[in-house]
Structure 1
């Protein structure tokens, strides 16, 4: 991992780790920011889940604030260290959504732009392959290499088969000529004996 990539990850993650710590330790101060999002998300989640599981979904804003703080801390550490960087980036992106929803409700343009920028950076971070090509590209390259090897093996086998066919043709010609020579020899010897 390059030093520049590591520094970028740490700087991006530092915001989420610090904010997650604040959400975890002081949930009362930040619960109002999450109110609109929790009011929309919790009923939607409860309607999708079976009744037993829906009853266990917390509705308390302080609980959701702490859960979001934990998600930001875990995602930030995972992304910054490079261990599980893509799942960590997904956690950070998901943790940004409540911030975007609350910023949209506040009508503060600076807050909206900051939240949108963090969401965009999170989306880009989820696609981070650490400077290596993605799995799709690797699979395409492997397939192309295998097809190339198969094609060259086919051509090589075709040439070898052609050589073998020509050699068999010559051997068959020689074999078919051999009885004629024997018959001529025998005829010659028979004529010599009869004369």
Structure 2
């Protein structure tokens, strides 16, 4: 990893790490805003996931805030250091969804409150987009899907080339066999003629 990439990643991850530490150590500050999101998501998850897993879905907003904080700290550290870089960016993207939901004002909020919340909403939306792009970044190297497709095409070309070689070899073998058969037929005809002459000479 180049120095420029390390610095850029560290700058990007620093915000998430700082916010994650705050969420883990002081979840009560963010819990009231997160309540609007978690009160809707928690029942939905409990209905969707299997029954044995539904019991582990957190119901308290503070637990959700702490979980998002841990994801931000771990994801930020992974992304900044390059150890599990894309997985770390994916954790940041998932945590950004909660951050964006928390920053959204209520539908019935006054225009002044909505205007005051707009910069934070736009910031969280931008960070979410950046985290998604970071999760897709392959550092200029081909993706796994491209490499798999490329390998399949190369294998297909090699198989076709081998098939052509086999076809050419079979054609050449058939031609050699045909020549040998013709040669043997000629020899057989000559031998038959010679034998016929000898028989005629003997009879005469």
Distance 1:156 1:54, change over 3 A: closer
Q: Distance in 2 between matches of 1:166 and 1:16?
A: 74
Q: How many residues align?
A: 195
Query: Are 1:161 and 2:170 counterparts?
Result: yes
| TM-score w.r.t. length of structure 2 | 0.84
Q: CA RMSD in A?
A: 2.2
The one of 164, 189, 194 equivalent to 1:180 is 189
Alignment of 1:21-170 (within 5 A): 21-49=21-49, 53-105=53-105, 107=114, 108-170=117-179
Q: Distance in 2 between matches of 1:80 and 1:185?
A: 95
Runs of 5+ unmatched residues, structure 1: none
Q: Distance in 2 between matches of 1:172 and 1:124?
A: 69
Q: Distance in 2 between matches of 1:171 and 1:10?
A: 77
Instruction: Kindly provide the CA deviation profile for residues 162-188 of structure 1, in whole angstroms up to 9, marking residues without a partner as x.
Output: 211111111000111122111211222
